A = this chain, B = another copy of it.
Amino acid sequence: MTTYQAPLRDMRFVLNDVLQIQKYDNMPGFADASPDVVNAILDEGAKIAEEVLHPINQSGDKEGCTWDNGKVTTPTGFKKAYETFVEGGWPALTSDPGYGGQGLPNVLGVAFNEMVSAANMAFCMYPGLSHGAYSAIHAWGSEEQKKTYLPKLVSGEWTGTMNLTEPHCGTDLGLMRTKAEPQDDGSYKITGTKIFISAGEHDLADNIIHLVLAKIPGGPEGIKGVSLFVVPKFFVNADGSLGARNSVSCGSIEEKMGIHGNSTCVLNYDEATGYLIGEPHKGMRAMFTMMNEARLGVGLQGLGQSEVSYQNAAAYANDRIQGRSISGTKYEDKAADPIIVHPDVRRMLMDQRAFNESARALLYWTALHGDISHKSPDEKEREKSDDYMGLLTPVVKAYLTDKGFAHAVNAQQVLGGHGYIQEWGMEQFVRDARIAMIYEGANGVQALDLVGRKLAANGGRGIFAFIAELGSFVDDHSGNADLKDYVDAVSVGKGYLEEATNWLMENGLSNPDNAGAASTDFLHLLALVSLSYMWGNLAKAAHDKIANGGADDPFYANKLKVGRYFLERMFPDAEAHLAKLKSGAEPVMALDDAAFLAS
């Protein structure tokens, strides 16, 4: 009963008018991304999201994946949808043309993935994990490994997985027990149990390429002794055909809160044959190179679930009649007013909308910096974009999923009791959105990565550059009456960010627990300030359009109304985050560990 309509107008506005990605046509792939190509790709992407993937979202949740003696069957329609996805060439969108890819900018891939993820989050995990495996092999594999695996991953004929977690270790991979014994032929025998492996086994593709972290005996202790291996489900013959089955098997699939259409597997490696990727004991470095991309891919899931749940809540609020407006009847012809007239219902929808539109801008902005960091001919520009990508990726991952979930909860609330029953589909958005706060590094881990690593990297080069960019926005537009409220917010936000950063630099070194205790509030503060900056840019682009023939287009006028809402109703939280983080570690750490176990 739910519907999804890709927000194409808004996506184009961000890509073409705000970020103006065509400006970057001196970078590989961008020259091909003319507005026409961008529009055509988004149109086609919207079609598959709306017409193929969303119609099997609710049924996929209800049916779920089934496990039978090691075989996993995806819900009805998933196999056919995946075929359509592959036939459309979607797995190749941003991949290396040397292996059959289209080589388009990653920012465009992120826009496409937003639609896939909004339409069917469980489905999006299958190609999503494949792309992660593709990236790892592409970055660190040998020429032979690349030739063997990449073309089939790019075509979508095979899928991939990432194997990190074990029953006793997730965040702390140094505790890993999976072993890789070297063999005479240069391969390794992998033995151990991996859990929570998304898309670990299924019926969508002919082969599954597992990327597996394991320890080679005799290597360094802990995290420094972890290596990365590729373990194909079926061996690949020299001619590219599939050979015998490798000894990796799916022991069970998890029963979970949501994303029932995705198989979350326990994978047992029983002397499975694996091939080392890159150097021994350098597995974590290989993981980290693809971490930013993967984390953006989870951040967009938060936005996607907020967007699709918003659309369904807004439709319900315009349709469901109940009570009369407290400021006087608005729909005389109806037995009651639609609930959209009630300010508190509208508050929930406006919260979502003001988030969605600026979160989209921040996501694409960060993804664009990812492209620049790899592809710009200018070394300084690459460095700065790499700093931004590193700094903002944990923000996009954690903030967009924290709020994406909270907004899906709000959307559910708009439907009252109907939001709680399965039929209407709203509670699925909540259950699905919930996982994005956890996987690919729980949001608390993102916050620690931000304050413990990204903030301090290169003497704070990234955060100081970002603060300077905020300052430039303020300087550039301080005389512009149209943008005054945005300039004021960015200016205030810049001050908060400087204060918080200085506080962390002064107090985090003397007691690292101060940094840990401040981490989540700092991340949310940086997110709100970033969104105020995005709103500044969105408003500027809207005003430019209004001044150049767009005065009668409600899209631009509405954009400014939503921006105003952000400033008045969402930005005030920034100051509270600042106050909380400056209270330091002491209140957080005061209780003894054991005191948490008794009242």
Q: Which residues on A are within 8 Å of B, measured CB to CB? A: 7-10, 165, 169-172, 174-175, 195-196, 254-258, 264, 314-315, 317-318, 321-323, 325-327, 335-336, 338, 340-350, 353, 357, 405, 409, 412-413, 416-417, 419-423, 427, 430-431, 434-435, 437-439, 442-444, 447-448, 452, 511-513, 515-517, 519-520, 554-555, 558, 561-562, 564-565, 568-569, 572-573, 575-576, 579-580, 583, 585, 587-599
Interface centre among A169, A430, A572 (most CB of B within 10 A): A572
Is the pair A591, B561 in contact by a Cβ cutoff of 8 Å?
yes
For A338, the closest partner residue in chain B by CB is B593
Residues of B within 8 A of A564 (CB): 587, 590
| Residues A442 and B421 in contact in the complex (CB < 8 Å), given A9-B599, A447-B344, A591-B558 | no
Is the pair B444, A345 in contact by a Cβ cutoff of 8 Å?
yes
For A350, the closest partner residue in chain B by CB is B588
Chain B proximity of A30: nearest CB distance (Å): 25
Residues of B within 8 A of A165 (CB): 417
Residues of B within 8 A of A519 (CB): 343-344
17 contacts between A and B (CB under 8 A): A254-B422, A256-B422, A256-B427, A318-B596, A326-B513, A340-B596, A342-B444, A344-B447, A346-B517, A346-B588, A346-B589, A346-B591, A357-B599, A413-B438, A413-B443, A419-B438, A573-B573
Is the pair B326, A420 in contact by a Cβ cutoff of 8 Å?
no
Separation of A413 and B427 alpha carbons in the complex (Å): 19
| Residues A340 and B572 in contact in the complex (CB < 8 Å), given A347-B520, A599-B10 | no
Residues of B within 8 A of A561 (CB): 587, 590-591
For A452, the closest partner residue in chain B by CB is B326
Chain B proximity of A312: nearest CB distance (Å): 11
Chain B proximity of A73: nearest CB distance (Å): 20
Residues of B within 8 A of A317 (CB): 596
Residues of B within 8 A of A554 (CB): 592, 595
Separation of A140 and B596 alpha carbons in the complex (Å): 47
Residues of B within 8 A of A171 (CB): 322-323, 416
Is the pair B413, A444 in contact by a Cβ cutoff of 8 Å?
yes
Separation of A422 and B513 alpha carbons in the complex (Å): 32
Residues of B within 8 A of A412 (CB): 434
Chain B proximity of A263: nearest CB distance (Å): 13
Residues of B within 8 A of A599 (CB): 7-10, 357, 555
Is the pair A257, B589 in contact by a Cβ cutoff of 8 Å?
no
Number of copies of this chain that the complex holds: 2
Residues of B within 8 A of A326 (CB): 448, 452, 512-513, 515-516
Main secondary structure of the interface of A (DSSP, over half): helix
Chain B proximity of A47: nearest CB distance (Å): 17
Separation of A439 and B418 alpha carbons in the complex (Å): 11
- Closest 3 pairs (CB-CB, A-B): A343-B516, A568-B583, A257-B427
Residues of B within 8 A of A321 (CB): 172, 175
Residues of B within 8 A of A353 (CB): 596
For A254, the closest partner residue in chain B by CB is B421
Separation of A442 and B347 alpha carbons in the complex (Å): 14
Is the pair A588, B575 in contact by a Cβ cutoff of 8 Å?
no
Residues of B within 8 A of A595 (CB): 554, 558
Separation of A409 and B401 alpha carbons in the complex (Å): 13
Separation of A595 and B557 alpha carbons in the complex (Å): 11
Is the pair B431, A257 in contact by a Cβ cutoff of 8 Å?
yes
Residues of B within 8 A of A438 (CB): 413, 416-417, 419-420
Residues of B within 8 A of A579 (CB): 572
Separation of A589 and B591 alpha carbons in the complex (Å): 45
Residues of B within 8 A of A340 (CB): 593, 596
Is the pair A568, B587 in contact by a Cβ cutoff of 8 Å?
yes
Chain B proximity of A578: nearest CB distance (Å): 9
Separation of A539 and B317 alpha carbons in the complex (Å): 45
Is the pair A314, B596 in contact by a Cβ cutoff of 8 Å?
yes
Is the pair B343, A585 in contact by a Cβ cutoff of 8 Å?
yes
Separation of A5 and B135 alpha carbons in the complex (Å): 48
| Residues A327 and B512 in contact in the complex (CB < 8 Å), given A343-B519, A596-B314 | yes
Q: For A344, give its contact among B169, B325, B423, B444 (CB under 8 Å).
A: B444
Separation of A420 and B257 alpha carbons in the complex (Å): 6
Separation of A573 and B576 alpha carbons in the complex (Å): 6
Is the pair A344, B520 in contact by a Cβ cutoff of 8 Å?
yes
Separation of A405 and B427 alpha carbons in the complex (Å): 14
Is the pair A580, B572 in contact by a Cβ cutoff of 8 Å?
yes
| Residues A416 and B170 in contact in the complex (CB < 8 Å), given A452-B326, A591-B558 | yes
Residues of B within 8 A of A257 (CB): 420-422, 427, 430-431
For A406, the closest partner residue in chain B by CB is B406
For A314, the closest partner residue in chain B by CB is B596
Chain B proximity of A286: nearest CB distance (Å): 21
Residues of B within 8 A of A515 (CB): 326
Chain B proximity of A500: nearest CB distance (Å): 14
15 other A-B residue contacts (CB within 8 Å) besides A10-B599, A342-B444, A346-B517: A165-B417, A172-B322, A196-B417, A254-B421, A257-B420, A326-B515, A342-B516, A413-B438, A413-B442, A417-B439, A420-B435, A562-B591, A564-B590, A568-B580, A569-B583
